[in-house]
Structure 1
Amino acid sequence: MSLDERALAVARTVSPVSPPVPVPRQSRSRAGAIVVIAPLALTIVLGLWGIRRENTMWGDETVTYQIAHRDLSQIWHTAQHVDLVHALYYAVMHEVFGLFGGGLLTLRLPSALAMAVAASGVGLLGLRLAGPRAGLLAGLVFPLLPQVQKYAQEGRSYAMVCALVTWATYALVVSVPRRTRWRWAVYGATMLLACLLHEFAVLALVAHGVTLVVSRAPRRVLRAWGVAAAGVVAGLVPLVIRSAGQSEQVSWIDSPVRVDYFLVVAVVGLACARVPVEVRRPVRLSTLAVPILVLPGLLLLIASLVKPLFVDRYVVFSNIGIALLLGASMDHLHRQQRSSRYVWIAAVAALAVLVPPSLSLRTPQSRSDDATAIGAAVREEGRPGDGLLFVSGRHRILTAANPEDTRVLTDLALARDPVSSHTLAGVELPAQEIAARMLGFDRIVVVRGRDAHSSANAQEKAKTSTLRRHFREYGTTHVKGARITVYVRNHDPSPKPVLEKASR
């Protein structure tokens, strides 16, 4: 046998390596549709499940409810004094209330829908960076994350910010291999809108820059991103300058709030980042997911060394990163036939572990206070003609959602109501006038928030000193986030022992 004949025989015995078979466009479209629709549907189902939370609101939601019911000019004037960082969100919710009514479902439904849109974006990111199965898994993991479930059912801006950051990230990924300017314009506009809804969304912009540098993006890409980022910063600077004068609003943060979740998902995400991803793109999945998962929270923690700023909800969009990493890791393990069985066992176990927190998140006890219960307790304890006192005055917002709770009581410290004064909690009388008005009542219902403490404020000193000198406790009701105490004048001829009521 000649040398050529022997070579041909060997070639026939070896399985040929076929080139990759191109996926038909119809199949790609079908995969893309599934990756979008399945996470969207799951997030909507989870978002609607228990969305009313037993018809209760917590304190921050009452602020949204109160301000969004003012007209746009009043929202603007209020933002000059307080909550400027949320002014755009309040304006959006004002229009939503105008179209669909101002009920509890309307308050929270935009957040549920926004998270559903974010889940679709996460799925598409996974599809583009790691393939259809990884994209589908990432999109389905995202709505199962406890933090995502929580803020999908809150009447605040964080879900909308998360959705915008997700789609800005997708715009970034699709812009890298192309030269079209309009894609970068979409990226910049989406990121700017996210930052105007909440300033800390700019931390995602930093994460995007790190991703491009680590990916060794071409100079033209870095230049295009730099122009878009400069536009975002230029549009955000006026808001940052104006809102800096309202920094006392975050004075309640004395240490990182709920940092445990961030630390756990960061560690899990870094572990998942070591898993190889089959699909290769100009931007790798890990170089995109790790910065957006770790950097925003890490930067807030570093800033907290100077001034405490870390609150978990400020970086909800970090969940994009952990969902992508988990989805890609599950896809990789599924490809390893020996490991696929264990992947499904681990997935079922993880779902079982998630059931208790998912149930808990849909109860009033899952939030730091229960403004609905506080208002109901005030209504129950108060009698027509009783005085009403908030210690401190900012806790007045806890009863703002339902004016009927306090209608038969006289607010002893209030000089101008929140709407006319363009504030959240109204403007209070001078200290001497508050004390004088208190002495004109035999019964006063006092509301103290969960963070009640002695204050250097003259009005608060007048309230506490007058209560101590001229009144005594008649009974106290404990509710989630506050306690409501009835005080009676010392000259009451038929005093009764102080009654403590169980927490609600």
Structure 2
Amino acid sequence: MKLQRDIELGEPFYRQQMEETQRSSLLSHGLWIHALWFVPVLALAAIARFYGLTQTAIWCDEGSSLLMSQYSPALTWFHSAHDVHPPLYYLLLHAWMSLFGDGIFSIRAMSALPGVATVGLAFWLMRLVATPRAAVLGGILLALMPITVRYSQEVRMYSLMGLWLMGATIALVYWVRNPNHQRYLAIYALLMTASFYTHYFTCLCVLAHWFYLLMLRCKSDDKLKLITRPAWWVANLAIVALYAPWIPSLVGQLTHLDQLRVGGDVGWIPPVTLGSLPSAIWQFMTLKDGTDVWLPLYVLMPLMIAAAAAVVFLRDRSHFRFNTLLVSYTFLPVLVIFAVSFVTPLLVERYLMFAAIGLPLVLAVAIDQLERRFRVLAIGLLVAVLGLEMDGLRNNYSVDADQFDVLVNYVNQNYVAGDRIVVSDLFWYFGYVYYNKTGAEPLLYTPSLPDGGSGRPNAYGFGTLVDESADKIYVDRLQVLPKGTGRVWLVSGSYPPDDFRSIPNDWTKEKELKVGDTEVRLYSIH
């Protein structure tokens, strides 16, 4: 009875003793298979992330990743300094494509594999901080988490960022448990640095880690006042030092925010409202904002999750308060960005995917705790979460057959050497470049702005990927196109108003194909 009471109070020595006793008991009874739960969990994660990996066409952001990664490492560093994201993902993608090619399965596998590995790390983290049952449950829920599946299937940096930060959080847990072992802080510093070189929102995870250590400091045990230890400060200074080579580029990006805003790379995020926070939770769970569901349900689901997280946070009386770490990692970044977005809109769910990774883990702890006293309520919560995830996966895998690659392949098949191809916008341009097999360089339509100013991209944001070819690819007016074969392909969105403001009167439409929300038209020039 005393041992059980000490465990409930979170005494680490007795907790470790009990876990070792349980492991020995499992082995002695021939139930070693329980130690292999991570195998089906990882298999489930892999199936969810590799299923349908190639069924959606490359879109604008993915196309920009591919163009950025085609540069040499030195030029990738230069161009990413003119973009809105750091360079590490692009450098790794460059190396990946040199080894495995740029086929759609290959390039997306570079996101799917870190996504699977992150589930494995999350399972590891849960085995360190929670019960075995909660670890298995958290692993399953994360394997099926729609937003993590969705962005493990995209040629962008979000999956890689989640991998770095989950690994860094594990290193932090090991250091908290063994503060005299500085190697854990060294690993932490390296992983956090890698994440900073991957995405700027890493700073939000830093806030969560510092908040956790600050909460730990509030305990009476002087050994837990880790936030004041010199080793912790040295580790964070090491992160700054390792990141120092990129800081001038970051300052340059901040200096040129106006140019980034003109190109649409900054300033496109819509303003937040009070409903943006519950909508973000709906996006995490179902990949939809929830505004089309019954209003009481729209409010109830986020409240249910918030209540579960609050219970986990407030009932955390354990020695190391690891449940507090899980809740902080998950919710603090979201709440900070939500608050900041009332001043400068920054709330983009995919940017917060790393925080969403923690949501299934927190829910798993809540379900595990509820089951001990309120079994029916725990089962109901589990069924509700799984139901939401199944709906989200259905949304992820339900893809219209009319994809952009169908349109580009139509041009590829009907192209005649000497034809001109003009794309109406950078949004379509990058994807078109990926699928283009004609050997001709697509042109970019850059009409004057309504105020008479130039409509050409500048050298920042997406514009950095095409600005060097401005003289070759920019088309300010369709009338100036040389006749060539006498045929011009116009690629644009299919909804009014027409992206091509003025098509010359002496052009005759020969063919037209609409695919989803895009269209291509073939004109003959007289």
Question: What TM-score do you get using the length of structure 1 for normalisation?
Answer: 0.77
Aligned residue number for residue 498 of structure 1? none
Aligned residue number for residue 208 of structure 2? 207
Separation (CA, whole Å) in 2 of partners of 1:425 and 1:382: 23
Offset of residue 312 of structure 1:
0.9
Separation (CA, whole Å) in 2 of partners of 1:286 and 1:267: 19
* Alignment equivalent of 2:280, drawn from 262, 269, 275: 262
* Alignment equivalent of 1:221, drawn from 223, 227, 247: 227
What does residue range 460-479 of structure 1 map to in structure 2 within 5 Å? 464-465=501-502, 467=503, 471=507, 476-479=512-515
Instruction: Confirm or deny that 1:40 pairs with 2:42.
Output: yes
What does residue range 340-489 of structure 1 map to in structure 2 within 5 Å? 340=375, 343-344=378-379, 347-348=382-383, 350-365=385-400, 370-379=403-412, 384-393=417-426, 395-404=428-437, 406-407=438-439, 411=443, 423-425=464-466, 427-429=469-471, 434-438=477-481, 440=483, 443-449=487-493, 464-465=501-502, 467=503, 471=507, 476-487=512-523
Asked whether the 8 Å contact 1:381–1:445 carries over to 2, the reply is: no
Match of 1:447, SS state, is: strand
Offset of residue 347 of structure 1:
3.5
Asked whether the 8 Å contact 1:385–1:409 carries over to 2, the reply is: no
Aligned residue number for residue 199 of structure 2? 198
Offset of residue 91 of structure 1:
1.0
Aligned residue number for residue 232 of structure 1? 239
Instruction: Confirm or deny that 1:94 pairs with 2:90.
Output: no
CA spacing shift, 1:90–1:408, aligned 2, 3 Å: closer
* Alignment equivalent of 1:22, drawn from 18, 23, 39: 18
- Which stretch of the first structure deviates more once superposed, 57-66 or 158-167? 57-66
CA spacing shift, 1:447–1:276, aligned 2, 3 Å: closer
Asked whether the 8 Å contact 2:216–2:321 carries over to 1, the reply is: yes
Instruction: Confirm or deny that 1:311 pairs with 2:317.
Output: no
Separation (CA, whole Å) in 2 of partners of 1:473 and 1:296: 52
Asked whether the 8 Å contact 2:142–2:360 carries over to 1, the reply is: yes
Asked whether the 8 Å contact 2:41–2:139 carries over to 1, the reply is: yes
Aligned residue number for residue 298 of structure 2? none
Q: Which runs of 5+ in 2 are unaligned?
A: 5-16, 219-223, 285-301, 447-455
CA spacing shift, 1:450–1:329, aligned 2, 3 Å: farther
What does residue range 62-73 of structure 1 map to in structure 2 within 5 Å? 62-73=63-74
What does residue range 245-260 of structure 1 map to in structure 2 within 5 Å? 245=256, 247-248=260-261, 249-255=265-271
Instruction: Confirm or deny that 1:82 pairs with 2:126.
Output: no
Separation (CA, whole Å) in 1 of partners of 2:309 and 2:442: 59
Offset of residue 141 of structure 1:
1.0
Match of 2:332, SS state, is: helix
CA spacing shift, 1:329–1:66, aligned 2, 3 Å: same
Q: Partner letter of residue 391 of structure 1?
A: S
Alignment size in residue pairs:
456
Asked whether the 8 Å contact 1:35–1:123 carries over to 2, the reply is: no
Q: Which runs of 5+ in 1 are unaligned?
A: 1-16, 455-459, 493-504
- Which stretch of the first structure deviates more once superposed, 342-351 or 125-134? 342-351
Asked whether the 8 Å contact 1:275–1:329 carries over to 2, the reply is: yes
Separation (CA, whole Å) in 2 of partners of 1:450 and 1:87: 34
* Alignment equivalent of 1:49, drawn from 48, 51, 57: 51
CA spacing shift, 1:80–1:173, aligned 2, 3 Å: closer
Offset of residue 331 of structure 1:
0.9
Show CA shifts across 1:259-290 (max 9, x none).
65524466444211243589854432442123
Asked whether the 8 Å contact 2:142–2:357 carries over to 1, the reply is: yes
Asked whether the 8 Å contact 1:123–1:137 carries over to 2, the reply is: no
Separation (CA, whole Å) in 2 of partners of 1:175 and 1:346: 33
Show CA shifts across 1:131-156 (max 9, x none).
22112211221121110111121121
Offset of residue 451 of structure 1:
9.8
Separation (CA, whole Å) in 2 of partners of 1:111 and 1:410: 28
Asked whether the 8 Å contact 1:195–1:202 carries over to 2, the reply is: yes
Instruction: Confirm or deny that 1:242 pairs with 2:242.
Output: no
Offset of residue 423 of structure 1:
4.1
Asked whether the 8 Å contact 2:208–2:329 carries over to 1, the reply is: yes
CA spacing shift, 1:412–1:342, aligned 2, 3 Å: closer
**Identity over the aligned pairs, expressed in percent?**
24
Separation (CA, whole Å) in 2 of partners of 1:31 and 1:173: 26
Aligned residue number for residue 150 of structure 1? 150
Separation (CA, whole Å) in 2 of partners of 1:187 and 1:432: 49
CA spacing shift, 1:64–1:480, aligned 2, 3 Å: farther
Q: Which has the larger radius of gyration?
A: 1
| CA RMSD between the two structures | 3.9
CA spacing shift, 1:411–1:120, aligned 2, 3 Å: closer
Question: What TM-score do you get using the length of structure 2 for normalisation?
Answer: 0.74
Separation (CA, whole Å) in 1 of partners of 2:127 and 2:34: 8
CA spacing shift, 1:82–1:70, aligned 2, 3 Å: same
Match of 1:275, SS state, is: helix
CA spacing shift, 1:349–1:202, aligned 2, 3 Å: closer
Separation (CA, whole Å) in 2 of partners of 1:256 and 1:39: 36
Offset of residue 399 of structure 1:
0.6
Aligned residue number for residue 293 of structure 1? 330
Match of 1:314, SS state, is: helix
